[in-house]
Homo-oligomer: A and B are copies of this chain.
């Protein structure tokens, strides 16, 4: 634990209310100019934010990429003007008055909700409620993991979160606070904007939970204060910093503080205050400056606060230079995991090609992970309580536990959404490459966070096993049929469905090489044979490839993914025996195939009639089979029975594929 930074004596500090009013004015003015946005939250939390940033957060505005900076997450992302105003006031690069004036306009970094990568100081994308908090839990975990490796002299920072009533109503908040309390993430501090207002009106319309008691039940240190009393905020933060548990500080605030007609009401939550009301608010706040203009004393005070952490940052850089672990830490942050795993994975693929094991791809994935986790220290594994079904834990990883962060494997609990959000936080924190497992069907539970992985461009890897009716007896609640399509629909997400052990290793290699696009690995529960193919090149890298080409011009082409490639090959055998020259194409990744040159795609798909087979719904397949093509798969939900019976019942068989192809060829 570190104490707060040295702060100037109270007498030297500018009036905090006046500093806070600068936030309020900027928020009112920017929302008004955009004719769109949320002024209430920034105005309500301005006092808290002022104390937090002027006295507690460790940062240097001139170096927003300082690795040991405290992280700040605005989980209530609709209050984005709070963050933009802070970044401007503190002097972050790239956040000037122009950017505030262009709030919510095309191409401006001041988007409606904070977007990661759009401006320095935006640590994560927020807006979908609850996820900022859950992502912050991942950041706080990453901080402890890195500290365990590189020492507290290099890694020792807090993660601060501003969360709203909506964040705390969302289910993912439960998953996040339960995990954080369990792991005793003492350097996570959540400031709850307890304004008792949500969009529909007072929160008493929909909730009666005692949030303070709720967080205490999850093992948190808790406090409840007046969010407009700077001294109370400072005292609470100092206590929170020192407590060995994660901290919740409930800050009672007035939404829209300063707006005489609208403060305390839902009407100031998500709409401009209007010119007349803004004039009244300026008067009430004693703020006589024109829109976007700031008095020198206030701006000076803020800019000084923005420089406040520079000595600490410089001291840290000296420590890093002197530390025996400094170089390793640098290398960790710049890590090239793809390079680390390339040779071992290639060797592993050669072994597989020689040994031809018959394995479930989830099991092949475990073997690939064994190779990967031995070759790199960057990976942080985990599962949402399906470790021995997802096969995500490999030998010697070490398991993360409360106050024990030297391991690399996290038991995320039955918390798919919280796991995915935490993985985003771990990835954002830098250096680590998180992967986590659940059943493919429960990607539904995590979908909100998978979307943020994709939107932020984070190379998180989702290990999603039991990927079809092939899981058998657990039945339709556990059998994904629409999930491949639903995931393929998401932009900037690579969905991999490998057909055997070799493709599984290839897809892992591609996922680890993909640092700006998250990956889905869709893996079977049932065993699959290792298929014959040329050895050496990563064939999955082109997304689809011809696994078997008949002699002479094709009569038919069979397209398949994952566990159905075996079926396509068996169908091709039937057809070839009849003299129908049939090619088989394996398509482990539609996205990578779509990215190939058209000539390659045409060569692979061929001009002959095509039949696709996948134990999932048809949606999307028409892109590949064309108007003359056919599809063999699922048209509804699955059923509970042994897997082989289900494949027969639903007609996903070599015989059915052969019949369909034969009919097309002869048509």
Stretch at the interface among A104-112, A275-283, A540-548: A104-112
Query: Quick one: which of A177-232 are within 8 Å of B by CB?
Result: 178-179, 181-182, 198-201, 203, 205-211, 213-214, 216-219
Output the nearest chain B residue to A128 by Cβ-Cβ distance.
B477
Whole-angstrom distance between the alpha carbons of A106 and B218 in the complex? 43
Which listed residue (B209, B387, B618) contacts A217, Cβ 8 A? B209
Asked if A293 is at the interface of the complex by the 8 Å CB criterion, the answer is: no
Binary flags per residue of A633-645, CB closer than 8 Å to B gives 1, else 0: 0111101111001
Could you pull out 28 A-B pairs where Cβ atoms are within 8 angstroms? A34-B473, A105-B641, A105-B642, A106-B641, A107-B641, A108-B640, A112-B478, A112-B640, A115-B477, A127-B474, A165-B414, A170-B415, A171-B173, A178-B209, A181-B209, A206-B385, A208-B402, A211-B217, A214-B217, A444-B451, A445-B447, A455-B476, A455-B477, A482-B491, A483-B489, A491-B637, A620-B622, A627-B627
A383 located at the interface, meaning its Cβ lies under 8 Å from any Cβ of chain B in the complex: yes
Q: Which residues of A are at the interface with B, using a C-beta cutoff of 8 A?
A: 34, 36-37, 77, 104-108, 111-113, 115, 125-130, 165-167, 169-175, 178-179, 181-182, 198-201, 203, 205-211, 213-214, 216-219, 383, 385-389, 399, 401-402, 411-415, 417-418, 441-442, 444-445, 447-448, 451-452, 454-455, 472-478, 481-483, 485-486, 488-492, 617-620, 622-623, 626-627, 634-637, 639-642, 645-646, 649
Q: 3 shortest A-B CB distances, which residue pairs?
A: A171-B171, A206-B413, A174-B174
Tell me whether A113 and B492 are in contact in the complex, defined as CB-CB below 8 angstroms, given that A106-B649, A166-B385, A169-B414 are known contacts: no
Known pairs A77-B477, A483-B489 / 20 extra A-B pairs, C-beta < 8 Å: A108-B640, A111-B476, A115-B477, A126-B477, A128-B477, A169-B175, A171-B445, A178-B208, A199-B389, A205-B411, A213-B217, A217-B217, A445-B448, A455-B476, A482-B490, A485-B486, A489-B617, A491-B637, A620-B620, A620-B622
Of the candidates B442, B451, B489, the one whose C-beta lies within 8 Å of that of A489 is: B489
Question: Quick check: A417 and B473 within 8 Å, CB to CB?
Answer: no
Residues of B close to A412: CB separation below 8 A: 206
* In contact, A442 and B128 (Cβ under 8 angstroms): yes
A641 with B104: in contact, given A178-B209, A444-B451 (CB under 8 Å)?
Answer: yes
Measured between alpha carbons, how far is A472 from B441 in the docked complex, in Å? Answer: 32
Task: Report the minimal beta-carbon distance from A77 to chain B, rounded to whole angstroms.
Answer: 7
Assembly CA distance A201 to B36 (angstroms)? 50
**Contact pick for A179, options B107, B206, B451, B627, CB 8 Å:** B206
| A181/B208 in contact, CB under 8 A | yes
Indicate if the CB atoms of A491 and B636 lie closer than 8 Å. Answer: yes
Contact, CB under 8 Å: A414 / B166: yes
